[in-house]
Structure 1
Amino acid sequence: MKKSFLFLSVLLTFFFATNLFAQNFQTGKFSGNYQSEGFNLNKGEGKRTYSVEVKFKKAYEVAPTIILTVNHLNAETKDGVRVRYEVTTKGISRDGFLIEVATWEDSKIHEIRGDWVAFNE
C-alpha cells in the first residue's frame, strides 16, 4: 500500500511538473528575406527595419520574458568590413510580441533567421 501511494505521488508530481513546465515555456522560429512581404533590409541606405509578428499558441497570464537568437545572417556592406544589425523585441504582451530587425548605413541584409523562447517563472 505504501509503495502504491509513493508511486502515485511521484507520478502525480511528475504530471503536474511537466504540465507546469509546458505552460511556462513556448518556443518558435523567425525569418525574413528579400522575398518576404515588407522586407526592405536589402535596399537603400540609412536606418531600415523589418518586423515579424509572433502570436503565442497559448496566452500567458502576464507578459513573459523573451530571449532571441540569430542563427543565420546573409548580409553585405560596400566596404566589406562591418555589417550593422540589431534584433529586438517590441510590444511584449500576454498574447505575443514583435521581433524587429534593423540595419543602417550601407549594410544590406538579404536573409535573417533565428529562434525565440518565451517564459514565465
Structure 2
Amino acid sequence: MKTFRTHPIGIDQGETVLFSEFSNGGDMWTGNGTRERRAAVTFSQPFRTTPVVQVGISLWDVDTTTALRAEVKAEDISAEGFSAVFRTWSDTRIARIRMSWTAIGEVAHEDDWDIS
C-alpha cells in the first residue's frame, strides 16, 4: 500500500497511441513470436515522489482469427513519467493499440521547504 503524508495529492491522466501497424505491415500485424512496443510518457508536471500508475487498453484493433494475447504495463516509473509497455506473443495479430493511464501521487506545495 502506498501512503501519503499531509502533502497535496495530484492525479494526472492521459492516453497514448503505442503503434498502428496495419497499413504499413509492421511486425505487430504480420509477425510471430514475442513482440513489444514502448512509449515514453511525461507527466504534465512532476510529482513530489514516485506516483502509482495504472494503465489499460483504451483501443485495440485486432485480428480475431487467432487468440488474443496481451500484456500492458507501466515500467520505469519516476516522478517525471514512465514507459507504457505493450507485449504480445505467438501468432496474435495486433493492428493498433492505444493505452490510457492514470497516475496518483504527492505533488509539491508552495509551503514545501527545500533544505539542501
TM-score range, shorter chain: 0.7 to 0.9
Of 11, 16, 23, the residue aligned with 1:30 is: 16
Give RMSD over aligned pairs.
1.8
1:76 matches 2:63: yes
Long gaps (5+) in structure 2: 1-7, 107-116
Q: Could you tell me whether the CA contact under 8 Å between 1:40 and 1:49 is conserved in 2?
A: no
For the residue of structure 1 that corresponds to 2:28, the secondary structure is coil
Larger RCO: 1 or 2 (CA < 8 Å, sep 6+): 2
Q: Report how far residue 70 of structure 1 moved.
A: 1.1
Q: Residue 84 of structure 2 aligns with which residue?
A: 99
Q: Report how far residue 97 of structure 1 moved.
A: 0.2
Flag the structure with higher helix content. 1
What TM-score, normalized to structure 2? 0.73
Q: Residue 56 of structure 1 aligns with which residue?
A: 43
1:49-104 deviation digits (Å, cap 9, x = unpaired): 00011011211111100111212111126xx2511111111100011000110110
Larger Rg: 1 or 2?
1
Task: Quickly say closer, same or farther: Cα 1:40–1:56, change in 2 above 3 A.
Answer: farther
1:111 matches 2:96: yes
1:6-30 deviation digits (Å, cap 9, x = unpaired): xxxxxxxxxxxxxx45xx1111101
Aligned length: 95
Identity %: 25
Within 1, Cα distance between the matches of 2:27 and 2:38?
10
1:66 matches 2:40: no
Long gaps (5+) in structure 1: 1-19
Task: Quickly say closer, same or farther: Cα 1:120–1:102, change in 2 above 3 A.
Answer: same
